Amino acid sequence: MNEIKITRTDTDTKGRYAAHLTSVEGEGELTLSKVSKSLIIVDHTAVPDTMRGKGVAVALAERVIADARAAGQRIVPLCPFLRAYATRHREETSDVIQW
């Protein structure tokens, strides 16, 4: 099984997570906007066809949720994927997701 490597880059107002798999071409991504120190909006998640079905989007979702939790932030899930993920995991994400 390929290990998913996720990196994060930030500016003052935006953030981007990039996911890579060993020996797989392409890059998955999740982007966010920083509303304040305590609130972010996840607006986009995309995974290329070469990575579909390998858990990349879920890994990106879990990473942004873990990072927000550690930073004491709330997430507004505008991205359809993250919104669906948070809906399916409502109980365990209720401390982080802002509906």
Which CATH number covers residue 28? 3.40.630.30
Query: Quick one: average pLDDT of 39-64?
Result: 97
What is the pLDDT, as a whole number, of residue 1? 56
- Decide if 98 is inside a domain: no
Expressed as residue numbers, the domain containing 51 is 4-93
DSSP single-letter state for residue 23: T
Q: Is residue 31 part of a domain?
A: yes
Residue 1 CB contacts under 8 Å (≥ 6 apart), including other chains: none
The pLDDT assigned to 93 comes to 97
Residue 17 lies in a domain: yes
Q: Is the pLDDT of residue 2 over 90?
A: no
Looking at the predicted structure, is the pLDDT value of residue 36 above 60? yes
Residue 99, domain member (yes or no)? no
The domain total for the chain is 1
Whether 55 maps to a domain, the answer reads yes
- Percent of the chain surpassing pLDDT 90: 96
SS3 for 18? strand
- 59 in any annotated domain: yes
